[in-house]
Each structure stands twice: as C-alpha cells, then as structure tokens.
Amino acid sequence: MVKRIKIDPDAMIGNKYGKLLVLKSLYYKGNHNTEVFCRCDCGKELSRIASHIISGLTVSCGCERTNVITVRNRKHDHAKRHKKSKEYRTWEDINKRCRDSNNQVYGGKGISVCPEWQESFENFLRDMGTCPDIKYSIERLDNSLGYSKENCIWANRSTQSAHRGRQKNNSSGYIGVKWDKRSSKWVASIRWKGKVTEKYFSNKEIAALYRDAYIKYHELPHTLNLNELGQQYISKILKKAKGDWDIIELMVKKTLCQAGHDVIIYVLDEAEIPENAIVIK
C-alpha cells in the first residue's frame, strides 16, 4: 500500500514554487485535496491544489504553457490564436488519431507517426512543405504503414481514391473489379480525375490484369493487384508493345498465370515461365 504523504498548507505560505508564491491556505474540498491561494509572476492570483504544487505538477497559472506555445508559433506562424493553418491542423490530427488506442483505424490498429513528426510541427512542415491547395490533404502511399516523410504526400480526392485498397463489399477479390449483373460479366473500372474507364470481361482475373496494365501504361497512382513479380512482367509487356495499347490489350487477354500462394497475375507472351507457375488456359 502506498503511504499518503500529509501536506501542511500553512507551512507553504510565503514559499515560492516555480512561478507561484503561496499567500494563504484555503480549505479541504470534498475529495480531500487541500488548496492554497497563490500569486503568479504574471500577476494573476488563483487557487491550486497544494499537492500538485509540491510535486511540481503545477508551476504557474498556465502562462508558462502559453508562453512556450507562443514562442513556437512565432517560429512558423502556423498556429495563431483561434486560427491554425491547414498544415498545423493536419499535424495535430494525425498525432491525435495515432495516439488514441481506441481508434480502430489508426492508433488501435498500430498506425503511428514517425518520431521526428511527433517531436515538432517544424519537422513535419520541413518534410511535407506547405499544402498546395485547400482541397488537398495528407495521404499515406502504403496504408499498412504509418505517417512519415517516405510514406506521405499531399493529395487531392482523385489521388486518394486511387490509393484505396479492396473494399469490404468487393465480390471479385481484386481491386477495381466488380460483377455486373446486367451483362453477367466482370468489369474492370479505373476512375481518375472525374473520368471512369470500364472494360467488360468473362474472367475476373483477366479483368484485374487489364486494370493493372492500364494503370501502368498511363502511369496512374492507383493501388495495384500485382505484386513485384507481376509488375515486372507487365513492364516487359508494355516495353514489347512499344506503346501500342491495342497490342497490349491482346497480350493481356492471351495468357494468365497464378504463382505460389499469392494472388498475383501477370501476362506471358513468349516469356520465361517461372517454375512455380500454374498457367491458366
């Protein structure tokens, strides 16, 4: 059992603790915390819990914290009273959500902010720069990783939508591929800057492959279904087709392969087939 130390508030009178000069003792509150009446160096008079003053938990009327924040704000001018910049609000928000263990999307999921950005807003601003437009917000390139210089960009809605992974209600198992009841076919869908490109296929794997080839061909920022091996094969096909999209479409439809336990897809056209590959005709 922890022994409670009895504090004599009368013995504190005339003593100074931090910026607080104790003038007199007050009373015992319902929770048994004794309060003392103090005067801060800034001139403000107030009452505070005696044990908090003795332990160093309270060192001023609050002006000390305000002064520290004011000094920091003068350095970057992004957190004026009642008016914080978009960059500063973003920095506050990502730190808050990642510190919250009850937030099942961020803190509770293990998503964290890098130590440099936790340390100061200046470090965050140095790495990210100013937000290019009010419609932009911070975006993680890899949603399985946390917030850091290497994994974050300022992005608009189109780019953020492109980075989304497979949705919970996805029926195909592939990003950007859905079943169309009207045509009874699988649809490969790519949305970018308000424009939607769709292509219909009888096979969902080929639809997924078409989507990824289209994204690679047009150098879009969308999340791919392919792993590194699959992307290498797509790159070979794009190079072989010499920029002719019609040829690429034919090559995409020609051959499909699934390797190992990963759901990876790539096209093969007179290319070397890996030993662990199972060719699907």
Tokens of residue 53, six digits: 């003053």
**Element (H or E) spanning 165, and its range?**
none
Task: Tell me if 20 sits within 8 A of 60, measured CB to CB.
Answer: yes
Q: What percent of the chain has pLDDT over 70?
A: 70
- pLDDT at site 1: 41
Query: Which of 135, 113, 121, 66 lies closest to 89, judged by CA?
Result: 121
Please name which of 45, 85, 77 lies closest in space to residue 61, comparing C-alpha atoms: 45
- Give me the DSSP letters along 180-203: ETTTTEEEEEEEETTEEEEEEES-
Q: What is the pLDDT tens value at each position of the chain, 281 positions in all?
A: 434 556 788 888 999 988 899 999 886 555 556 788 999 988 889 888 888 788 777 788 877 655 555 555 555 667 666 678 889 899 989 988 888 888 888 888 888 999 899 888 889 999 999 988 888 889 888 778 899 999 888 888 777 766 665 555 566 778 888 888 888 888 888 877 767 888 888 878 778 888 888 888 888 877 777 767 667 777 777 777 776 777 777 766 664 544 333 333 444 333 444 444 433 33
Helices (H), the chain: 9-12, 50-55, 63-76, 86-99, 115-119, 121-128, 157-162, 204-217, 228-241, 245-254
At residue 165, the pLDDT reads 58
Task: Encode pLDDT of 88-121 as tens digits.
Answer: 899 989 988 888 888 888 888 888 999 899 888 8
Q: Is 278 helix (H, G, I), strand (E, B) or coil?
A: strand
